[in-house]
């Protein structure tokens, strides 16, 4: 499932490949992928240009001439930039014909991803009650302290809460807690000021490294892009058998229904 670094990587790759391109025609092949009426969606996008590329949490935001296109990849959504002569498969649900003769194709095996249109200058800062971006100043030790006050859930669930901080999913939550030496099941009530500072620092460090890893890998893509597992080989605990730091066996526990990996030796 794409998290913040993967979404950022997809966004920057698309910016490189289709910035400035005009949409000539849109073919919605699976109606539920778009939240508007498919015919209206296609009609409104015809003639629009891909001008600006932004991200908010895990949402891709494309600023056009008179409107904004928003896309959430959910579990398996991905984009390909291909030629019309390239074979189309049954998982390609929205196809944008671009003015340079290429096609932007949205591919989604699970069909959970969604797209919708909103105003040209729509302000996403409070969109869906999303919390601050991890790189925003607003995501601080003081913020974490205030947010967790009166709460008692596990730290893992706190990091996955998109109202707390935007863009973190299962993999990076495990990695951040591993780097902080905190067990995922630990109550968010029982952490110190130092832990709060570490969560801010390690969140930014790990996401930065993951974006960099995605960025280096993505350069090898020429006409297509997928977003799976670029950073996962580097994980210290998530889906690992032994801890990369100390070699102890990694434990796995379900927390809030999500598989949570941790090292019992390094994380307290
Ligand atoms: Zn360890």
pLDDT (0 to 100) of residue 217: 47
Has residue 244 got a pLDDT over 60? yes
**Average pLDDT value over all residues in the chain:** 91
* Rounded Cα–Cα distance for residues 242 and 36 (Å): 47
Q: What is the mean pLDDT of residues 221-243?
A: 67
Q: Tell me the CA–centroid distance for residue 156 and ligand 1, in Å.
A: 18
Active-site residues, by number, are 2-3, 58, 258
Residues 6+ apart with CB under 8 A from 246: 263, 265, 266
Residue 26: what pLDDT? 98
Q: How far is the CA of 204 from the centre of ligand 1 (A)?
A: 21
Tell me the average pLDDT across 166-191.
Answer: 95
Mean pLDDT for the stretch of residues 25-29: 98
Residue 64 Cα to ligand 1 midpoint, Å, equals: 48
Share of the chain above pLDDT 90, in %: 77
Is the model's pLDDT at 218 over the cut of 70? Answer: no
| Banded model confidence at residue 204, pLDDT cuts 50, 70, 90 | very high
**What pLDDT does 214 receive?**
72
Residue-range domains of the chain with CATH: 4-129 (3.20.190.10), 141-262 (1.10.8.50)
Q: In what order do the strands lie in the sheet with 23-28?
A: 23-28, 92-98, 103-107, 78-82
Q: How far is the CA of 239 from the centre of ligand 1 (A)?
A: 14
Check residue 28 and give its pLDDT: 98
Which tokens sit at 80?
């390909």
């Amino acid at each position: 499932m794409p998290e913040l670094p993967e979404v950022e990587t997809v966004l920057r790759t698309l910016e490189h490949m289709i910035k400035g391109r005009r949409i000539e025609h849109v073919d919605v092949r699976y109606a539920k992928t778009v939240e508007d009426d498919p015919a209206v969606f296609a009609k409104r996008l015809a003639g629009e240009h891909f001008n600006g590329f932004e991200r908010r949490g895990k949402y891709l935001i494309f600023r056009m001439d008179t409107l904004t296109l928003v896309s959430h990849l959910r579990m398996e959504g991905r984009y390909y930039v291909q030629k019309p002569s390239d074979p189309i498969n049954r998982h390609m649900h929205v196809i944008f014909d671009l003015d340079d003769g290429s096609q932007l194709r949205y591919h989604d095996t699970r069909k959970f991803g969604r797209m919708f249109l909103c105003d040209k200058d729509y302000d996403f800062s409070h969109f869906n009650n999303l919390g601050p971006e991890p790189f925003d100043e607003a995501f601080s030790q003081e913020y974490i302290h205030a947010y967790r006050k009166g709460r008692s859930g596990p730290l893992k669930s706190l990091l996955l809460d998109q109202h707390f901080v935007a863009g973190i999913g299962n993999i990076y939550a495990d990695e951040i807690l591993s780097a902080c030496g905190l067990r995922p099941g630990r109550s968010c009530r029982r952490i110190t000021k130092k832990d709060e500072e570490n969560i801010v620092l390690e969140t930014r460090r790990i996401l930065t490294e993951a974006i960099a890893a995605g960025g280096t890998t993505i350069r090898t893509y020429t006409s297509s892009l997928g977003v799976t597992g670029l950073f996962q080989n580097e994980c210290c605990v998530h889906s690992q058998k032994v801890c990369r730091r100390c070699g102890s066996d990694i434990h796995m526990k379900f927390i809030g229904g999500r598989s949570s990996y941790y090292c019992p030796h390094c994380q307290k």
